[in-house]
Amino acid sequence: MNRPESTPATMAARPAQLTMTADGKLSCAGAWTLDHLADLERQIAGLPKTLTGHINCDVGAIAAMDTGGAWLLQRTLSQFERSGCTLSIQGMSKDFGALMQTVAQGWAHTGQYQRSAPPSWLERLGQGAWRAADNLRKALTFIGEAATATAALLSRAQHMRWRVLLYNLQVDGLNGMPIIGLLSFLMGIVIAYQGSEQLKTFGANIFIVDLVGISLVREIAPLLTAILVAGRSGSAYTAQIGTMTVTEELDALRSLGISPMSLLVVPRAIALIIALPLLTVFADAVGVFGGMLIALSQLGVTFTEFLNRFEYAIVLRHYLIGIGKTPVFAGIIALVGCYQGFQVSGGVDSVGRHTTISVVQAIFLVIVTDAFFSILFSWWGL
């Protein structure tokens, strides 16, 4: 039973041992400390399950003992007793005896702990339904509160937090330009490249303008920008407001008579509603420029030809439809981001969870709304 140790011993040299002889003599030896307990536990599991008669337990050779070892010995001995054995213990030192007693007393207190059973599927279903309904109610309340706060602030412009609004305009709008520009540029290149292969075979080179122009301006640039902003700014809103909830900063604001809605939500929402259309215009321009470069290099369509055709092919309504959707997207992103921030409760893991929910929900809602717009516009024949 003398197995090699699994962990390096830090103190006692001899590993713990438990040996049982046929005549019912149990001898314990070595260091009954945490390092050796795993080994000891296996040795105990190897003892016969049902023991009867008298057991003579000799603990004199135990060199060291900590609470873990004391508990294991205590547990093993009381198991023997429960199975109907009589025990006599020999060689227990004063210190170890005191430790064993402390452990036994401690264990007596743990009895009040009751492990809660995992809920049944019916209970989980009910809780899930209740939570969903509750979330819907909270979301509607939040939208209502945000709308009234916005209306109140717009009617009394001197109460608007202009600095916060301008700051968010800079952080969410201006600072997002490089990444949005780069990705939109690449998107223009990809679309033009894929299209040019097809158009070349028909000799319909000039229609690259229609392809790149309409797809980018009407659909791809607004959607791409909204998704990037949801990832960039929506998540930041949730994390920021959520952390403020955890650190009680929101409560501090309320107690100072500052409405978190008017300080944190309304300026962010308005800033994003201004910034997202502007970012989309920028994305349009950079994306089309990317398309122009490919049109020139792959299809020989010069910049002048491209722009002449562009003026004719891309009628104003495509552009307006593309831009017109973005304030709605911006509203969705800002509201979802802030709402999820307010839903944070408890600790730091909640911040992470709600940030994830915020980004996923915002992107999901943006795409659903975009699909809804597409259906609506095709009904109207736009």
CB of 324 to other proteins, least distance (A): 43
* 346 binds other proteins, rule: CB under 8 A: yes
Q: Which is nearer to other proteins, 272 or 351 (CB)?
A: 351
Q: Which is nearer to other proteins, 14 or 25 (CB)?
A: 14
The DSSP bridge partners found for residue 20 are 26
Per-residue contact string for residues 349-368; x = within reach of other proteins by CB under 8 A = xx------------------
Q: Which is nearer to other proteins, 114 or 304 (CB)?
A: 114
CB of 382 to other proteins, least distance (A): 49
Q: Which is nearer to other proteins, 99 or 365 (CB)?
A: 99
* 34 binds other proteins, rule: CB under 8 A: yes
CB of 356 to other proteins, least distance (A): 14
CB 53, CB 85: distance < 8 Å: yes
CB of 6 to other proteins, least distance (A): 6
CB of 99 to other proteins, least distance (A): 6
Give the other-Cβ count within 10 Å of 244's Cβ.
Answer: 20
Q: Which of residues 78-117 bind other proteins (CB under 8 A)?
A: 93, 95-96, 98-99, 102-103, 106-107, 109-116
CB of 109 to other proteins, least distance (A): 4
DSSP label at residue 381: T
- Torsion, Cα 36 37 38 39, to 10 degrees, reads 60
Q: How far is CA 160 from CA 261, 268, 271, in A?
A: 11, 11, 12
CB of 69 to other proteins, least distance (A): 9
> For residues 114 and 181, what is the distance between their CA atoms, to the nearest angstrom?
58
Q: How far is CA 362 from CA 88, 187, 219, 318, in A?
A: 70, 22, 17, 24
Per-residue contact string for residues 52-71; x = within reach of other proteins by CB under 8 A = -----------xxxxxx--x
* 342 binds other proteins, rule: CB under 8 A: no
CB of 110 to other proteins, least distance (A): 4
Q: Which is nearer to other proteins, 73 or 169 (CB)?
A: 73
Q: Which is nearer to other proteins, 184 or 238 (CB)?
A: 238
First to last CA, the chain: 84
* 75 binds other proteins, rule: CB under 8 A: yes
Place of tokens 């004719």: 312
> For residues 320 and 191, what is the distance between their CA atoms, to the nearest angstrom?
21
- Torsion, Cα 149 150 152 155, to 10 degrees, reads 170
Q: Which is nearer to other proteins, 35 or 284 (CB)?
A: 35
* 37 binds other proteins, rule: CB under 8 A: yes
Q: Which of residues 269-298 bind other proteins (CB under 8 A)?
A: none
CB 299, CB 199: distance < 8 Å: yes
Please give the full DSSP string across 225-263, using - where no structure is assigned: HHHHHIIIIIHHHHHHHHHHHHTTHHHHHHHTT--HIII
Please give the full DSSP string across 282-351, using - where no structure is assigned: HHHHHHHHHHHHHHHHHH---HHHHHHHHHHHS-HHHHHHHHHHHHHHHHHHHHHHHHHHHH--SSHHHH
- Torsion, Cα 103 111 43 53, to 10 degrees, reads 90
CB of 304 to other proteins, least distance (A): 60
CB of 245 to other proteins, least distance (A): 11
Looking at 33, 233, 245, 355, which residue binds other proteins (CB under 8 A)? Answer: 33
* 47 binds other proteins, rule: CB under 8 A: no
Query: Count residues contacting other proteins (CB under 8 A)?
Result: 44
CB 51, CB 80: distance < 8 Å: yes
> For residues 236 and 176, what is the distance between their CA atoms, to the nearest angstrom?
13
* 239 binds other proteins, rule: CB under 8 A: no
- Three-state DSSP class for residue 27: strand
Looking at 1, 38, 136, 174, which residue binds other proteins (CB under 8 A)? Answer: 38
Which residues make up the interface to other proteins (CB under 8 A)? 6-8, 10-12, 33-35, 37-38, 41, 63-68, 71-72, 75, 93, 95-96, 98-99, 102-103, 106-107, 109-116, 345-350
